[in-house]
Each structure stands twice: as structure tokens, then as C-alpha cells.
Structure 1
Amino acid sequence: MELRDIIVLVKASLNPEIVRQNPNGSYDIEYTPLKISDIDRNALEEAVKLKSILGGKVYAISVLTWGPLKTRDKDLRLAIQEALAKVADEAYVVADDSVTPTDQVIVSNIIATLIKAKGLRPALVLAGEASIDESTSQVPARVASKLGYSYVGYVRKIIDIKNGKIIVERDLEEYTEILESPLPAVLSVTQEINEPRPPTLIQIRMASKKPVHYVSLKDLGLEFKMKRTIMDMRVLTITRKQVVIEEANVEKAVDRLLEYLEKEGVLRL
């Protein structure tokens, strides 16, 4: 049977534009709102195009890592509703308060287990190259490994998809690369792949009628003990030294500046 379905991984991430801070400078995670990760919007936009080519269904999958659900439900629903309004026909949400954002191995295992448990057989799993809060870039590759799918990261363009294969262009550090991969495959996409369009009012209204399935770890037969916990998160602050060089002679001023930069380890003269 030819694979036609698409899965898009959607994360409700901490919103960096509305970061709440405690008086000591640490993040107030509990009161920092969540939003759909920016590059996930690129993955959703690409799914629109691919759905028209493959003709299958699109599933959105999200794992809530910034719980608990009782305080995050509204933000999580908004992220899922955006995915449904944009392209997804159905959504699966793993909302278990024992899951935290500290272990990408566990999060990846949850996603892969869900895909298998629900009998999903996608041609493609799409994800953003990184989330806007942690930016580890680990989950897509780990999901591919758990599922036994091929993986291509940092995809900037999908050139062709047919006959059980996909041809893509991806970004590497100093050059781009065009490669062919068999399906099923997991792709992490960059922001260069497209320009996401907001869903229309009609799409937003229709999204409320689409099914959203909430799943717990118990439902999946999983039980994890998170090995790491976030002890503290702080805003990076940069203080200027405000060193002023007062020297009428330009050459002497330059010499003093170079001496200071060498002393600070910025230059080696």
C-alpha cells in the first residue's frame, strides 16, 4: 500500500516574547505563556503543499512538556487549534504531568510509541528544525531512529516526491546539499522552506469540529522517570564596562585601546 499520510510534530513552547521574570532574574516558567513554535508553522505550511500531492490525511502530534495541563490547557489548545485550522485533519496530544522538557530521548520515545500505538503509517513526519525555547534539534532525528525511518535534517526545499522517494535540498554549515531519501522519512525543516500563511477565518471555525485525542503515558503503556529536572532558568544579562579612553592624540588613544583589548583577552598582539 502506498504511503500517503503526513504527521506534523507541533510543540507548545515557552513564548520568548512574553517571558515572565522573578525579582532574582530567573524565569517564572509557571506564568510564561506558551505558543506554537515558530518553525513548526513552516512545517505545517509545507504539509499543505504535500497533502495536495499525496492526497492522504495530516495528523498533528504534540507532547506537552511545560505542564501541568490544568494551567496550560488554554495555551495548548490554541497551538493545536492552529495546526488543525492550517492543515491537520486530526490531532493527538500527550498531556501527562510527569513529562518535562529536560529529556529529549523520552519525548522522542513518547512520539514514536504514539505513532505505532495508533497504527499511523505516514509517508512523512515533518518537524521544525528546532523549538523556540530549548532549540536542541534532537527530537526529529530521535523519532526517526525509534521508528526506523530515514532522516533528513535542515531541509530548505522539497524538490520532488514520488515512487516512494523524496528529493530535498538541505542546509549544511558551508554549503547546501541535494539528496534523495526513501519513504517513510522524518524531515526537519528550516524557516527558508516557505513563508507560513495564517489560517483563514473559515479554517479557524472548521478546526473546532476536528477530533483532538488526549493521551496519557498510561494509555500508551509507558512509564518514565525523568532523569533531569530544571533547577533554574535565567535571562542572560550583559553589562557594559563603560570604559572611556580620554586622549587628545588619536595614535595614543588607539595604543591605549589596543592595550586594553589585549589585557581583556580580546586581541593577541
Structure 2
Amino acid sequence: MNGTITVIDAGPVRVHSYMSPDDSLNVTTQLIETPGRVIAVDAQYALGYADEVVAYAKGLGKPLDRVVISHAHPDHFHGAARFGAPVHALAVVRDQIVAQGDGQDPGGTVIPVADFTPTHVIEPGTEVIDGVPFVFEAHSGGEASDELVIRLPEQGVLVAQDLVFNRTHLFLGNNDITGWQSAIDRLAADPAYDIILAGHGLPANRSVYAELSQYLMDARELLGDDGEAYKKAIVDRYPDYRAPAMIDIANQYLFG
């Protein structure tokens, strides 16, 4: 396996967190295993890594109930069709995905928009799936304009996805550091969740909030009008962080 799997036991729920390698920005898919089924959150960017996740999920011996897409960035939805399950998303996220049209795998394979268009709308609120309460929350601002967060209150698990990066460089292309910090503050205000599932990087604990806040503070200080200068400065400050290519992608949005 090219990706990294972290398994978290939480009573009747097991979380299998798949982190892709550096060449796919360490994007994560969460496989939430309930007593009778598996719910996937986010579907990878590279189709080959999506296939790895699907093969692992099939090895759990339970049906794949659905794929939930957290937000409308291609690294989280390109591989949705590979899962062979209904695709769920917030209505606003679905519309943003459709507006982008066809996608392209990093290897150059064209992916028709129909392959990853969500077909089921998530309404914010609580849904009990296989006896396990899932709390769906819509968040605005930050890494993306609109994002879904999932809470598993009985397990103390927060599926934060791209509102949390764990020791990987942040995607600042949405140009909303203030909104991202506000989102982190909202998540950190609830002490009931001590397992934090990141959208990039390995699962984390509550200490990740302070690390994210410091990175955002440093980014605000270092961002100027030169993308290459910013990249050098932030990498020098965080030399051990993964996925420096994330900075290059964000800089296309920030600096052209």
C-alpha cells in the first residue's frame, strides 16, 4: 500500500484514516466502520489512491453505505465513482462541484463531472446511521468557502477534514485567514472531541488547534506580494511539514 492507514477504536465504531502519499498532498479519506457498514468521507484526488482506499474498505467485509464529500476541492472528490456507493454532500457543495465541470486525474485521465456529482443532499442536523449518531454541520469560510464537519458525539470523534491540517502546509488559496481562524476557534471551543480527523495529515488531538493557529499567524506575517518569497519563508519556518507543493497550488490563486 502506498498510503498510510491509521486505525482508531472507539467503542462500536472503528475509524480507518487513509492518508495518501506526499505526491497527492497527504489528502485523507476517513472510513467510519459501524457495526454493519462503512461510511467513507472524501474520495481522494488520484484515482489510483482512491482504488487503494476502496480495496481496503472491501477488506473490512461490510457494505460501503455512502461517500460523503466534505467540500468542493478536487483532491477530495475526484475518485468518488470508484467507491460504487451513493455520493452525499451539502447542497451548496454539490452546486460548487457541478460548476467546476469535468476533472482531471494527476496522471492526465479526464474524469467526467457525472462521475463525482453528489446525488444525495445532506441537511445539517443529526442522522442515526446503523445505530450511531452522526451530527452534520455546515461551516462557511476558511480553507474553502463552504465545508461539512461531522461529529460523532458518542465517540468523541470530530471529522474536521480541511478545516484541520495536521503538520502539512496549509492551502491558503481561498485568501481567508481570518475566516479559517474563526472556524478553528469554533471547533476548539467544544472540549468533548479529542480525536480530530484532518483533511490532510494523520489523525490528531486537540493540540492541533494551537498549531494551526500559530501557522495562520505566521502566514499572515509572511505573506507579501511575492509567492516564491512566501514559500521559502514559510518552509524555512516549518521545515518538517509535509506537502510543500500545497503552497505552490495556493500561490496560483493568491498571486496568479
Same fold by TM-score greater than 0.5:
no
Structure with the higher strand share, 1 or 2: 2
Larger RCO: 1 or 2 (CA < 8 Å, sep 6+): 1
Higher Cα radius of gyration: 1
TM-score (norm 1): 0.27
